[in-house]
Amino acid sequence: MAPGKRFRVAICGAGIGGLTAAVALAKFPDIELEIFEGASQLAELGAGIGLFPRPWEVVRRLGLEADLLKATEIKLTEGPVTSFRYRKSDQPRGLDFYKLVTKGNLMTFHRSDFQKVLLSKLPRSCRIHCSKRLRSYAQHQSGPIELFFEDGSTYTCDVLIGADGIKSVVRQNLLSEKARWAQSEGRRAEAAEYAAGIDPVWCGTNAYRALIPAERLRARWPNHRVLTQPTQYLGEGGYMLAYPISLGKMINFVAFKSQHHLENTKFNGPWVSPTDSSEFVGMFRSWEPEVQALLDCVEKPLRWAIHTVRPLGTFTSGRVAILGDAAHAMTPHQGSGAGQAIEDAYILATVLGHPSTTRGNLANALSVYDRVRRSSSRKIQERSRLNGQYFTFHIDGVSFSNLGEEQLWSNLQKLGKAFTKNWEWVWTTSVEASVQEALRLLQESTAGR
């Protein structure tokens, strides 16, 4: 370790979660930081990403706001604003039925623009090593953590942060380690719970993602609403969302096809793969004309079989922690997976960077992170799952077809209110409360020593 440093942190995975953690930790120059990325180069998927006011607060605290605002045509608003319009679209004439009004708007970006801004904020001293795919790690009661990479190389650190996404090797190691210890002490139920979190499960939904050049859509349907207004098109068994990104040059498009009865089963096939529009347009062909215009413009979609991580009994083990999709991969129906990764990163950096955290009490700092972040991300996983049901009209005892106009309107209004209530945490609550909770817990735990 270089002189003047408190301890060494290794971040495994340079996605949005890992890079945000690096930017947040780089604010503490006495922490040595290395990032290990499995891919041969850093590349975010060609798709859009939206951030709501709560994670935006972290963006601002980390000094990313000014640069990010240059990468989007969306004007930052703090007051009430329409973030999405909702249409019932599984019929020949669509019905505009609801506006999601949020306090502060959804800020949308091309993922690679977001990544570029994060990278530009990393100091030179923070090295990113590409083509370093972690195979496993070994942690002993004392002494450094050893990292073993697929290429045969090794590295040692004092803290390991697993930001290695849904198929996280760090999560697998961490939970296996916990399950082994629990088993050896006769805590069988606990051991089984840890083991159950290792493998992700399919949620029964596939997402078809594409970027549509705005010019192509304009040629097909001048003034299509999604050129300026984020919109969700809802119907039975599926929904679509679209919004402008890249300063209005592109439209981020996602179509979801849901089979809720297959939730928590195994998906047969690759989780992400190029596909043909014919795989999903058929089910939307009876939908309203605006939807047909979007479908006609989709080229080379990617199919994502949406997987999630079951709610875990822990995000940490000793001096190892997981964050983002590694810890709580969720469905995308609240547009909050990356936002949650950003919050994790910020809270983790808050506890690690705190002056009371030393090489000798790192496990204590991580357990504070676990307490603050685990229960809140668990709630959001469930809220996101619920939105997936609302958006596809999958609600016990409520129908949206074969109804009179008045009854349909009333059911749709109730639906709108239900998903707003379910979602309002992103604009009515603040990250500051979590920071304060983390600082209080840290203080209590260090005072008790």
Ligand X SMILES: Cc1cc2nc3c(=O)[nH]c(=O)nc-3n(C[C@H](O)[C@H](O)[C@H](O)COP(=O)(O)OP(=O)(O)OC[C@H]3O[C@@H](n4cnc5c(N)ncnc54)[C@H](O)[C@@H]3O)c2cc1C
The answer to whether 438 contacts ligand X (rule: CB under 6 A) is: no
Tokens 């605002």 found at: 69
392-431 residues near ligand X, rule: CB under 6 A: none
Burial class of residue 229, CB neighbours in 10 A (0-12, 13-18, 19+): middle
3-state secondary structure of 219: helix
Stretch (H or E) spanning 128: strand 127-129
The answer to whether 272 contacts ligand X (rule: CB under 6 A) is: no
Render 92-105 in DSSP notation, one character per residue: SS-EEEEEEEEESP
Cβ closer to ligand X: 104 or 324? 324
Residue from 9, 122, 163, 250 touching ligand X (CB under 6 A): that is 163
Residue from 87, 209, 224, 303 touching ligand X (CB under 6 A): that is 209
The answer to whether 34 contacts ligand X (rule: CB under 6 A) is: no
The answer to whether 17 contacts ligand X (rule: CB under 6 A) is: yes
| Min separation Cβ 448 and ligand X, Å | 32
Tokens 């190029």 found at: 274
Q: How many residues bind ligand X (CB under 6 A)?
A: 34
Residue from 26, 134, 251, 368 touching ligand X (CB under 6 A): that is 134
| Min separation Cβ 185 and ligand X, Å | 29
Rounded to whole angstroms, the Cα distance separating 352 from 366 reads 8
- Pick the piece of the chain touching ligand X (CB under 6 A) from 36-44, 188-196, 314-322, 373-381: 36-44
Rounded to whole angstroms, the Cα distance separating 262 from 274 reads 22
- Pick the piece of the chain touching ligand X (CB under 6 A) from 35-43, 60-68, 89-97, 215-223: 35-43
| Min separation Cβ 356 and ligand X, Å | 27
Residue from 8, 11, 18, 31 touching ligand X (CB under 6 A): that is 18
Q: Check: CB of residue 197 under 8 Å from CB of residue 310.
A: yes
Residue from 6, 10, 15, 139 touching ligand X (CB under 6 A): that is 15
The answer to whether 290 contacts ligand X (rule: CB under 6 A) is: no
The answer to whether 164 contacts ligand X (rule: CB under 6 A) is: yes
Cβ closer to ligand X: 260 or 359? 260
Please report, to the nearest 10 degrees, the dihedral formed by the alpha carbons of residues 133, 139, 145, 148 taken in order: -30
Rounded to whole angstroms, the Cα distance separating 290 from 121 reads 41
Tokens 């703090």 found at: 78
The answer to whether 197 contacts ligand X (rule: CB under 6 A) is: no
Tokens standing for residue 257: 């096809």
- Pick the piece of the chain touching ligand X (CB under 6 A) from 8-16, 74-82, 309-317, 378-386: 8-16
Rounded to whole angstroms, the Cα distance separating 338 from 315 reads 17
Tokens 């529009």 found at: 277
Cβ closer to ligand X: 6 or 111? 111
Q: What single-letter DSSP state applies at residue 265?
A: B
Q: Check: CB of residue 230 under 8 Å from CB of residue 241.
A: yes
Cβ closer to ligand X: 6 or 374? 374
| Min separation Cβ 170 and ligand X, Å | 8
Cβ closer to ligand X: 207 or 294? 207
Rounded to whole angstroms, the Cα distance separating 170 from 197 reads 12
The answer to whether 59 contacts ligand X (rule: CB under 6 A) is: no
The answer to whether 12 contacts ligand X (rule: CB under 6 A) is: yes
Length of the chain: 449
Residue from 117, 169, 412, 415 touching ligand X (CB under 6 A): that is 169
291-330 residues near ligand X, rule: CB under 6 A: 304, 306, 324-326
3-state secondary structure of 84: strand
Percent helix, percent strand, percent coil in the chain, to nearest 5:
40, 25, 35
Tokens standing for residue 184: 């050896």
The answer to whether 337 contacts ligand X (rule: CB under 6 A) is: yes
Residue from 23, 217, 254, 415 touching ligand X (CB under 6 A): that is 254
What's the distance, CA 338 to chain centroid? Answer: 3
Residue from 7, 28, 36, 155 touching ligand X (CB under 6 A): that is 36
Cβ closer to ligand X: 332 or 353? 332
Residue from 94, 104, 165, 388 touching ligand X (CB under 6 A): that is 165
- Pick the piece of the chain touching ligand X (CB under 6 A) from 15-23, 274-282, 359-367, 402-410: 15-23
- Beta-bridge partner residues of 257: 206, 238
| Min separation Cβ 407 and ligand X, Å | 33
Q: Which residues contact 80 (CB under 8 A, 6 or more apart)?
A: 101, 102, 103
Q: Which of 252, 248, 303, 242 is nearest to 277 (CA)?
A: 303
Residues that bind ligand X (CB under 6 A): 12-18, 36-39, 49-50, 133-134, 163-165, 169, 207, 209, 254, 304, 306, 324-326, 332, 335-339, 341
